[in-house]
Chain A
Amino acid sequence: MKKLTTPLDEKTVRSLKAGDQILLSGVIWTGRDQAHKRLVALLDEGKDLPVDLQDQAIYFVGPCPARPGEPIGSAGPTTSGRMDAYSPRLIKDCKLRGMIGKGGRSDAVVDAMKQYGAVYFAAAGGAGALIAQSIKKAEVIAFPDLGPEAIHRLEVEDLPLVVAIDSDGNDLYKR
């Protein structure tokens, strides 16, 4: 297990190899397809994004509502393939360095990861209760109308991840 803390610079990201087991700490941002669609629309319009994604990581998750007194509800990864249409743009234009989800990615995403330096982590899909224990704080920072799909700022401690696709294009989903 390798410990890693955000923000993630290009050098750090390029040093990660497919198969590495990671415990990630620091601030990460949530986003699913609806949030990604809006982010890319803002880029198209030349407007500022609600969060600066440079050297940041996005976690593809739509959590359960938090019970009173708790930071978040169950919060495992969703299928990353639904973000494939948007991720290359965020990697290229915003220097997004990390994505966290489940399932394989398209060639276009992997190409962008190789070219600009980004990494794709797999979290344990269907282990939302376990993952929630690593999330210490959560707040909505953009698109609250999207409910569970709003962009949240998460503070995580030792979030268990696997490097599924590295910045050289090594891909554990391809056999």
Chain B
Amino acid sequence: MTAIKIDTRTPAERLRLIPFDEIVEKTAACCFEAACQLPADVLQAIRSAAEKETSPLGKGFLEQYIENAKIASTHPMPICQDTGFAVFFVEMGEMVKVDGGSIYEAITAGVAKGYKEGFLRKSIVRDPLFGRPNTGDNTPPIIHLTLVPGDKLNVILAPKGGGSENMSALKMLKPSDGRDGVVKFVTETVISAGGNPCPPTVVGVGIGGTFEKAAFLAKKALLRKLGEPNPQKEYAELEQEILAKINASGVGPQGLGGDITSFAVHIEQFPCHIASLPVTVNLNCHAARHAGFEL
């Protein structure tokens, strides 16, 4: 007979305390790392694109990106001067308690510290329409917080530049538009963006959910390891079909012509209303930056 182990601790005793300052420090370090260290999968995608690209100008740009990543990492210096809006995906165990403040305050303080001490560009204005005064410390961040079982804190930062974000799009398709409608909308969005989002891009696509959920899905899709297919076969095939259409367009690196306009198309799908078919496209430039930590 197995003895049943009963946890006699009170709910308060079961909480795991994480010091506020520890999150601030880790977040600050994460901001600097994301700005300067291009993830290995992204660098690999650029290398392989540089081998395949047949346009001399396009190849030249891809080779500059490889050299740029090396300088950024060793100097160290930001890969791109647009060190972005600090977008966080946080999974917080329900047994975690931040000791000394809230998770939002801790991450915000970490962003202010990381952007200031790391000599990163402050790109956030307090009011979108009136005066547009810079907040001076790149806060506030965007924090997507999910509560999960357990006592761990997992933080991923994906700093988002304005050039590629500006080329993103959302369309509420009719269910009858179906698969073809999705292919058309995504392909046209990427091609009409031309050189503006700094191609080759990573194309995040959200299908389903509601208006705001679809936008979130497209952003989340950008976090997937580069080129890893959607686990569902129909969607994986759709990703390949859209990618082939985009790359047949000839937009190329920096929009100056070439074979490689996008490295990958990542689709995330979600159940949706019987009347709806929301589709979103969130573009990431070739410097698809992210970094993270777990506590």
Interface residues of A (CB under 8 A from B): 19, 21, 61-67, 73-76, 78-79, 81, 102-104, 122, 124-130, 132-133, 147-148, 160, 162, 164, 172-173, 175
Name the CB-closest residue of A to B136. A147
Cα–Cα distance between A63 and B121 once the two chains are bound (Å): 7
Name the CB-closest residue of B to A81. B196
* Besides A66-B119, A78-B162, A103-B194, 13 new A-B residue pairs in contact (Cβ under 8 A), listed by A number: A62-B82, A63-B81, A65-B119, A65-B120, A73-B77, A73-B121, A79-B162, A103-B163, A128-B78, A128-B82, A130-B64, A148-B123, A173-B195
Please state if B121 and A172 are interface contacts (CB–CB under 8 Å): no
Given B67, B123, B287, which contacts A126 in the complex, CB threshold below 8 Å? B287
Given contacts A103-B195, A128-B81, A160-B64, contact A62 B254 (CB under 8 A): no
Q: Which of B182-199 contact A (CB under 8 A)?
A: 194-196, 198
Given contacts A148-B121, A160-B64, contact A125 B78 (CB under 8 A): no
Cα–Cα distance between A66 and B57 once the two chains are bound (Å): 30
Most chain A beta carbons < 10 A, residue from B80, B120, B194, B286: B80
Q: 24 interchain pairs (CB within 8 A)?
A: A21-B57, A21-B60, A61-B81, A62-B121, A63-B121, A64-B77, A64-B83, A73-B77, A73-B78, A73-B121, A74-B77, A79-B196, A102-B196, A103-B196, A104-B255, A122-B254, A124-B64, A126-B287, A127-B64, A128-B82, A129-B68, A129-B72, A129-B75, A172-B257
Question: Does B134 have its Cβ within 8 Å of any Cβ on chain A?
Answer: yes
Name the CB-closest residue of A to B67. A130
Question: Does B61 have its Cβ within 8 Å of any Cβ on chain A?
Answer: yes
Question: Does B97 have its Cβ within 8 Å of any Cβ on chain A?
Answer: no
Cβ of B198: which chain A residues have Cβ within 8 Å of it? 102, 125-126
Given contacts A74-B79, A75-B81, A147-B134, contact A125 B121 (CB under 8 A): no
Most chain B beta carbons < 10 A, residue from A75, A81, A124: A124
Measured CB to CB, the closest approach of chain A to B132, in angstroms, equals 8
Interface residues of B (CB under 8 A from A): 57, 60-61, 64-65, 67-68, 71-72, 75, 77-83, 119-123, 134, 161-163, 166, 194-196, 198, 250-251, 254-257, 285-287
Cβ of B287: which chain A residues have Cβ within 8 Å of it? 126
Given contacts A102-B196, A126-B285, A130-B67, contact A79 B78 (CB under 8 A): no
The A interface is mostly helix, strand or loop, or mixed, namely: loop
Name the CB-closest residue of B to A147. B134
Please state if B77 and A129 are interface contacts (CB–CB under 8 Å): yes
Cβ of B196: which chain A residues have Cβ within 8 Å of it? 79, 81, 102-104
Cβ of B119: which chain A residues have Cβ within 8 Å of it? 64-67, 73
Please state if A74 and B80 are interface contacts (CB–CB under 8 Å): yes
Cα–Cα distance between A148 and B61 once the two chains are bound (Å): 25
Cβ of A79: which chain B residues have Cβ within 8 Å of it? 162-163, 166, 196
Please state if B65 and A124 are interface contacts (CB–CB under 8 Å): yes
Cβ of B65: which chain A residues have Cβ within 8 Å of it? 124, 126-127
The 8 closest A-B pairs by CB, nearest first: A130-B68, A127-B68, A74-B78, A103-B196, A125-B198, A129-B72, A128-B81, A74-B81
Given A67, A104, A129, which contacts B79 in the complex, CB threshold below 8 Å? A129
Cβ of B166: which chain A residues have Cβ within 8 Å of it? 79
Cα–Cα distance between A21 and B63 once the two chains are bound (Å): 14
Measured CB to CB, the closest approach of chain B to A39, in angstroms, equals 18
Please state if A104 and B121 are interface contacts (CB–CB under 8 Å): no
Measured CB to CB, the closest approach of chain A to B264, in angstroms, equals 16
Cβ of A133: which chain B residues have Cβ within 8 Å of it? 71
Given B64, B81, B250, B255, which contacts A64 in the complex, CB threshold below 8 Å? B81
Given contacts A125-B285, A129-B68, A173-B195, contact A73 B256 (CB under 8 A): no
Cβ of A75: which chain B residues have Cβ within 8 Å of it? 81
Please state if B77 and A162 are interface contacts (CB–CB under 8 Å): no
